[in-house]
Amino acid sequence: VYFWTSSPSLPASEEGFQPMPSITIRPPDDQHLPTANTCISRLYVPLYSSKQILKQKLLLAIKTKNFGFV
């Protein structure tokens, strides 16, 4: 959640996250990591060639905190 929204936990209020988190699929690319724009709670994910690559890249991006403007 922190990687995507810069919030350390899920919201406790009924309103939830503002703005609502969203995902944008990028063009196919197995070389780049997913990124996030935490100001607008948007996750940018390249269209990977397999679920295994998606999992590896997403976990690596979360570990390295690769977020910011894209």
Residue 15 to residues 8, 19, 37, Cα–Cα distance (Å)? 17, 10, 20
Token pair for residue 65? 């905190």
User: Which residues does the annotation mark as catalytic?
Assistant: 39
Find out whether 34 and 44 touch, Cβ atoms under 8 Å. yes
